């Protein structure tokens, strides 16, 4: 048996695959130690001998909440303040009060090591010894080491690392030449600091999780989802926590890509609306967009990651009135505790979930995955109090909450499509998460998209994506090459490194994809282009010009190009492939009742359906509400959902 467990801000989801059937479960995410919720949801299955694949937000939370380790930075003298100087980008162009994000290492914990020359790698030299003595006095829990040009020659960093390890044997040490061996000193140092900062807390969590899992019958070492959409072993994740900062959301993107391939849809935008946030990502030809730099909490992270854009808009997002009297929604969330007012756990502020309850899309008395029943009276009370402040009736206030949160999510979809040169009208929106199906058609119609797909097991779809994700090893090498340079040798070296790392982790190689970061000579930003040894510079240039035009609207085909980095991603076999999953059966009495909902022109009746009993080929016509164990979908007037053999709902209008 294999289980995928995804820990979100509000719920912890499980999908269990026994080779023939899928079982699902959902519990509230535990505050503090996430592993308690993981163990709780595993115990609810009564299954033993499980192999676990885990999506976690423990690294994300530690970074955003600044609860990581006390970290020191070792770098070249004169560059100690690089992580504070950063780039000259202004985070808010016209805001005179904006302040930059504070670095993770305070100035007193930055140690500079003079170098007599670029050949000075002697760890026993006087200058190095003084630096190590300074570090010993600081007694940090973690040390990041990032020196000039280490992506070309790591020997100086390795010597410094050995000296620091001898003096501080308990400290976690991260070398930039191992974590992010690329040019650009600021971004490379920032990524190395992030990794060091997260190492102790992530290692403690994963070690504790491994011990707890052994007690409940989990076999073997669990795998963890990487930000790039593949799996990494528990020990490797503890050494490289910067690679799992977007562990949780990546699972849903992997599953959406697999579903799109199964349905023959080449252009998708995944839309994952959970309890705390909404994550969107563009998928083309079955391939999610991947970024090689992603700011998290305002700090650059050079780990490969699925190109997810996140906004603070989820079912638990709080609605409030700003000082100007305008209705706002998010980014603050009620979380799992106390949760929306309807949860009956002490929440009194209205949320998106409460608004959906007031307009009738959710039913009073319905259960959400566990012993949690929605209380309509509490939702109406919370929304009503907000309405009094706005001078609106409860129903109008609830409608306003939904319109505001949908405007946030619409902007997020535009970020991953229009702002990247892609037309959303050519894409289908894949909606999942507990709340995704209630808002997807409104968003897709506002953007004139081609349709909506609501996948099977929509409420736990990210957990299903963990089972569909392959083991993955990413490798990168900084290189500055002009046409005529020996690009193929660099590609082969990076390819072999990725394959070796995958094999050492015990995975069987299935595929390797290589790419190079290309720019016009003199540009400050580059574009990643697929490349295999033997393609040649002419082919690379042609691909780059096309990609540059698609992304930026122009190409300078007569200008010289240069390569600044070479990358490879080696992947193995996933736990399960989409075509192995059981087909949808259904065929029971799916119609449940009629419910009054608030339509655009006033109250009206919507038919309520139970999704597991819908037969393949059945068409549901809106207004309609389609309920399932972990999620709810809403169809407005004129919208039609057809049940695909996979169990997916294909919605058109």
391's tokens: 């001078």
**pLDDT tens digits for 45-66?**
776 778 899 999 889 888 988 9
* Lowest mean pLDDT, pick from 268-282, 289-303, 365-379, 466-480: 365-379
Give residue 342's Cα distance to chain centre.
Answer: 28
45's tokens: 């299955």
Q: Is the pLDDT of residue 536 over 50?
A: yes
Q: What is the layout of strands, in order, in the sheet containing 472-481?
A: 472-481, 561-571, 511-520, 527-530
Q: Give me the pLDDT at residue 219, please.
A: 75
Q: Is the pLDDT of residue 128 over 80?
A: no
- 511-547: burial string, b at 16+ Cβ within 10 Å, e else: ebbbbbbbbbeeeeebbbbebeeebebeebbebbbeb
Grade residue 258 by pLDDT with cuts at 50, 70 and 90.
Answer: very high
What kind and span of H or E run contains 651? strand 649-652
Inter-residue contact 406 to 271 (CB < 8 Å): no
Distance CA 26, CA 539 (A): 49
Q: Give me the pLDDT at residue 348, please.
A: 93
Q: Is the pLDDT of residue 91 over 80?
A: no
Grade residue 123 by pLDDT with cuts at 50, 70 and 90.
Answer: very low
Inter-residue contact 568 to 560 (CB < 8 Å): no
Distance CA 320, CA 378 (A): 17
Tell me how crowded residue 47 is: count the other CB atoms within 10 A of its CB. Answer: 17
Distance CA 61, CA 33 (A): 11
39's tokens: 């163990």
Rounded to two decimals, what is the model's pTM?
0.90
Distance CA 232, CA 8 (A): 19
Distance CA 456, CA 209 (A): 29
Q: Give me the pLDDT at residue 119, please.
A: 56
Read off the pLDDT of each residue in 161-187 and give the average, rounded to a whole number. 94
Q: Which residue has the higher pLDDT, 125 or 262?
A: 262
Q: Give me the pLDDT at residue 230, please.
A: 94
The residue whose two tokens read 């000193």 is 185
* Lowest mean pLDDT, pick from 321-325, 362-366, 463-467, 649-653: 362-366
Distance CA 192, CA 190 (A): 5
Q: Give me the pLDDT at residue 127, please.
A: 61
What kind and span of H or E run contains 284? strand 278-284
Distance CA 170, CA 92 (A): 40
Read off the pLDDT of each residue in 210-232 and give the average, rounded to a whole number. 87
* Lowest mean pLDDT, pick from 115-124, 484-493, 542-551, 563-572: 115-124
Give the chain's count of helices (H) and strands (E). 16, 33
Grade residue 44 by pLDDT with cuts at 50, 70 and 90.
Answer: confident
Read off the pLDDT of each residue in 390-405 and give the average, rounded to a whole number. 96
Q: Give me the pLDDT at residue 335, please.
A: 82
- E strand spans, 105-168: 110-113, 142-145
Give residue 603's Cα distance to chain centre.
Answer: 38
| Domains of the chain from N-terminus onward | 2-64+202-244 (3.30.420.40), 71-197 (no CATH), 317-404 (no CATH), 472-573 (3.30.1490)
Half-sphere exposure in the Cβ direction for 234 (13 Å, CA): 18
Q: What is the layout of strands, in order, in the sheet containing 602-610?
A: 591-599, 602-610, 624-627, 632-635
CA torsion angle 168 303 485 527 (round to 10): -150
346's tokens: 């002490």
Q: Give me the pLDDT at residue 124, please.
A: 42
Q: Is the pLDDT of residue 9 over 80?
A: no
Q: Is the pLDDT of residue 279 over 90?
A: yes
User: Cβ-count burial of 408 within 10 angstroms (0-12 exposed, 13-18 middle, 19+ buried)?
Assistant: middle
521's tokens: 């000579």
Grade residue 370 by pLDDT with cuts at 50, 70 and 90.
Answer: low
Q: Which residue has the higher pLDDT, 571 or 119?
A: 571
DSSP 465: H
Q: What are phi and psi of 356, to 5 degrees?
A: -65, -30
Distance CA 102, CA 378 (A): 40
Read off the pLDDT of each residue in 537-552 and give the average, rounded to a whole number. 94
Inter-residue contact 618 to 431 (CB < 8 Å): no
Q: Is the pLDDT of residue 121 over 70?
A: no
Inter-residue contact 633 to 434 (CB < 8 Å): no
């Amino acid at each position: 048996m294999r289980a995928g467990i995804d820990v979100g801000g509000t719920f912890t989801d499980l999908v269990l695959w026994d080779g023939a059937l899928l079982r699902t479960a959902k519990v509230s995410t535990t505050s503090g130690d996430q592993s308690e919720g993981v163990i709780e949801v595993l115990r609810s299955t009564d299954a033993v001998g499980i192999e676990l694949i885990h999506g976690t937000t423990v690294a994300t939370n530690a970074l955003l909440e600044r609860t990581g380790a006390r970290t020191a930075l070792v770098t070249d003298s004169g560059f100690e303040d690089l992580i504070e100087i950063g780039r000259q980008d202004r985070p808010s162009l016209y805001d005179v009060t904006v302040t930059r994000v504070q670095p993770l290492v305070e100035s007193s914990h930055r140690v500079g090591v003079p170098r007599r020359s670029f050949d000075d790698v002697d760890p026993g030299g006087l200058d190095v010894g003084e630096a190590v003595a300074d570090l010993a006095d600081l007694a940090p829990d973690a040390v990041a080491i990032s020196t000039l040009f280490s992506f070309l020659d790591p020997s100086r960093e390795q010597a410094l690392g050995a000296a620091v390890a001898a003096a501080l044997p308990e400290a976690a040490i991260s070398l930039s030449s191992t974590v992010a061996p690329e040019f650009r000193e600021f971004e490379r140092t920032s990524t190395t600091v992030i990794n060091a900062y997260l190492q102790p807390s992530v290692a403690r969590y994963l070690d504790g999780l491994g011990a707890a899992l052994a007690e409940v019958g989990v076999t073997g070492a669990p795998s963890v989802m990487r930000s790039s959409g593949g799996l990494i072993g528990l020990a490797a994740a503890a050494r490289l926590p910067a690679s799992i900062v977007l562990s949780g959301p990546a699972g849903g993107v992997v599953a959406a890509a697999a579903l799109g391939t199964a349905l023959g849809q080449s252009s998708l935008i995944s839309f994952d609306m959970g309890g705390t946030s909404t994550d969107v990502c563009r998928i083309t030809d079955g391939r999610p967009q991947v970024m090689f730099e992603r700011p998290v909490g305002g700090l650059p992270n050079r780990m490969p990651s699925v190109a997810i854009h996140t906004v603070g808009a989820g079912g638990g997002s709080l609605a409030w009135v700003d000082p100007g009297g305008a209705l706002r929604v998010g980014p603050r969330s009620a979380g799992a505790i106390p949760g929306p007012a309807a949860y009956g756990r002490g929440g009194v502020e209205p949320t998106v979930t409460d608004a959906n309850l007031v307009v009738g899309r959710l039913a009073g008395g319905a259960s959400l995955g566990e012993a949690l029943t929605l209380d309509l009276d509490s939702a109406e009370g919370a929304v009503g109090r907000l309405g009094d402040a706005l001078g609106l009736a409860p129903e109008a206030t609830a409608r306003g909450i939904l319109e505001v949160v949908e405007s946030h999510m619409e902007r997020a979809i535009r970020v991953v499509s229009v702002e990247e040169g892609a037309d959303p009208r050519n894409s289908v929106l894949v909606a999942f998460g507990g709340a995704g199906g209630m808002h997807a058609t409104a968003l897709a119609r506002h953007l004139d998209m081609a349709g909506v797909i609501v996948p099977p097991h929509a409420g736990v779809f990210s957990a299903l994506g963990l089972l569909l994700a392959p083991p993955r090893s990413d490798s990168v090498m900084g290189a500055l090459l002009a046409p005529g340079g020996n690009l193929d040798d660099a590609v082969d070296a990076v390819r072999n490194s990725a394959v070796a790392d995958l094999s050492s982790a015990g995975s069987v190689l299935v595929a390797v994809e290589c790419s190079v970061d290309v720019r016009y000579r003199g540009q400050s930003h580059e574009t990643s282009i697929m490349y295999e040894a033997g393609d040649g510079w002419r082919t690379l240039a042609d691909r780059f010009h096309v990609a540059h035009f698609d992304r930026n609207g122009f190409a300078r085909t007569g200008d010289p190009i240069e390569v600044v980095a070479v990358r490879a991603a080696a992947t193995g076999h996933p736990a399960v492939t989409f075509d192995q999953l059981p087909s949808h059966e259904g065929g029971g009495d799916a119609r449940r009742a009629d419910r009054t909902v608030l339509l655009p022109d006033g109250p009206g009746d919507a038919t309520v359906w139970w999704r597991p009993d819908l037969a393949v080929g059945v068409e549901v016509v809106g207004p309609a509400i389609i309920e399932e164990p972990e999620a709810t979908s809403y169809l407005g007037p004129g919208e039609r959902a057809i049940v695909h053999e996979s169990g997916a709902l294909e919605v058109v209008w």
